[in-house]
Copies of this chain bind each other. A is one copy, B any other.
Amino acid sequence: MSVTLKDIAKRVGKSVTTVSRALHDFDDVSPDTKAEVRSIAEELGYIPNIHAQRLQSKHTDTIGFIMPTFGPRFSDPFFSEFLAGIGNQAAKMGFDLLVSTCPPGTKELQAYEKNVRSPRVDGFIIVRTRQQDQRIKFLSQMKFPFVSFGRMLEHNDYAYVDEDGEYGMGLITNHLADLGHKRIAYLDAPGHFMFAHYRRQGFLDGLKEKSLEIDQDLIVTGDMTQRAGFQLATEILKQESPPAAIVACNDLMALGAISAAQQLGLTVGIDVAITGFDNIPLAEHCHPPLTTVHQPIYQIGEMVCEMLIKKIRSEPLDQEQIILQPSLVVRQSSIGNKKSL
């Protein structure tokens, strides 16, 4: 049996009210009493019953994170790093983190609704925003606190952090164009993901800017896994006149593309340039190291979490909407042994 306020009250010979107020340092409790209450609470190892507190206080000090994942063999470095960011920040600010996984769809919205109405959490963190994002619409409409990593096209009157994917992919495209590449393939992600939209846009604008032709046959879509990158790149490189550069919209597909090229006997960075986007830890120590765009996912997790907790506490945010400028990381996968541009 755990120790309750009543137990302490009995020991001190005071009421439960006084004990509660003593522990919360109210000023209508005498210093002596406070000291006594505290020492006995300590002695008995008192820890408040959190459900009684939450029932009374009407808030949960918990934030929710529903990971939009598919299938069992799920392993995306993005999620573990992002999760570490929000987890640590939440702990630092005294919040719990409730995690669940649910593939996008009808059940996903039900999961949000259940957690909102129970109420299990005080706010949500949303990631991988989509065109017409039902989650954002639902939470906005419920006036339930949330912060997202990613924007939507219209309807942008909520708090978010996002990378400037257009700009980042522009950096990649410029880099390749400056190296003299004319025909560049693009490994896209499904169009309903906003990040895919912006990155693709950055790629297309980059080509236009350099007056390069856009060949629709060289733009193919995969599910963001290494396996997909491998398969798509294999197909592309087996064409009679394959492109000399492949831009993947994320690192995982780029890694798959590197393997595909190597399997076909090509030297990546010399015969074919391959680039990614995200700068996951794996990108630095693969062979050849991957040219990519750096995105500080852990820090973004921290930021998003801090913003959410401030919103929950009705504290003002310095900035409601933040767009981060990513930076280009040039490695061997695009420039082979050349030491400079």
Interface residues of A (CB under 8 A from B): 2, 45, 47-52, 54-55, 60, 67, 69, 72-77, 79-81, 83-85, 87-88, 90-91, 96-102, 114, 117-120, 225-227, 229-230, 255-256, 258-259, 262-263, 280-282, 284-289, 298-299
Expressed in whole angstroms, the minimum distance between the Cβ of A5 and any Cβ of chain B is 14
Q: State whether A72 touches B285 (Cβ < 8 A).
A: no
Q: State whether B80 touches A75 (Cβ < 8 A).
A: yes
Q: Which residue of B is nearest A69, CB measured? A: B84
A2 is contacted by which of B49, B80, B117, B263 (Cβ under 8 Å)?
A: B117
Copies in the complex: 2
A263 is contacted by which of B47, B75, B118, B287 (Cβ under 8 Å)?
A: B287
A88 is contacted by which of B52, B101, B284, B298 (Cβ under 8 Å)?
A: B101
Q: Which residue of B is nearest A111, CB measured? A: B91
The 7 closest A-B pairs by CB, nearest first: A262-B287, A259-B287, A47-B117, A51-B55, A87-B101, A50-B118, A51-B54
Q: State whether A74 touches B69 (Cβ < 8 A).
A: no
Give Cα A52 to B73, complex, Å: 37
Give Cα A226 to B255, complex, Å: 14
A96 is contacted by which of B79, B87, B100, B298 (Cβ under 8 Å)?
A: B100
CB contacts (< 8 Å) of A60 on chain B: these are 51
Q: With A2-B119, A286-B286 given, can you name 13 additional A-B contacts, CB distance below 8 Å?
A: A47-B118, A49-B55, A72-B84, A72-B299, A73-B298, A74-B298, A80-B80, A87-B101, A91-B102, A97-B100, A98-B98, A255-B282, A255-B286
Q: State whether A282 touches B226 (Cβ < 8 A).
A: yes
A280 is contacted by which of B75, B88, B227, B259 (Cβ under 8 Å)?
A: B75
CB contacts (< 8 Å) of A72 on chain B: these are 84-85, 88, 298-299
Q: Which residue of B is nearest A298, CB measured? A: B72
Among A99, A229, A263, residue most surrounded by chain B Cβ atoms (within 10 Å):
A99
Among A48, A85, A226, residue most surrounded by chain B Cβ atoms (within 10 Å):
A226
Expressed in whole angstroms, the minimum distance between the Cβ of A82 and any Cβ of chain B is 10
Give Cα A287 to B81, complex, Å: 24
Give Cα A120 to B61, complex, Å: 12
With A287-B258, A287-B263 in contact, do A87 and B75 touch (Cβ < 8 Å)? no
Expressed in whole angstroms, the minimum distance between the Cβ of A302 and any Cβ of chain B is 9
A75 is contacted by which of B81, B96, B255 (Cβ under 8 Å)?
A: B81
Give Cα A77 to B80, complex, Å: 8
Q: State whether A75 touches B281 (Cβ < 8 A).
A: yes
A91 is contacted by which of B73, B90, B101, B258 (Cβ under 8 Å)?
A: B101
27 contacts between A and B (CB under 8 A): A45-B117, A47-B117, A47-B118, A49-B55, A50-B119, A51-B51, A69-B84, A72-B299, A73-B81, A74-B81, A74-B84, A77-B80, A80-B83, A83-B99, A87-B100, A88-B101, A90-B100, A91-B102, A96-B100, A226-B281, A255-B286, A258-B287, A259-B285, A259-B289, A263-B287, A286-B286, A287-B287
A286 is contacted by which of B79, B259, B288 (Cβ under 8 Å)?
A: B259
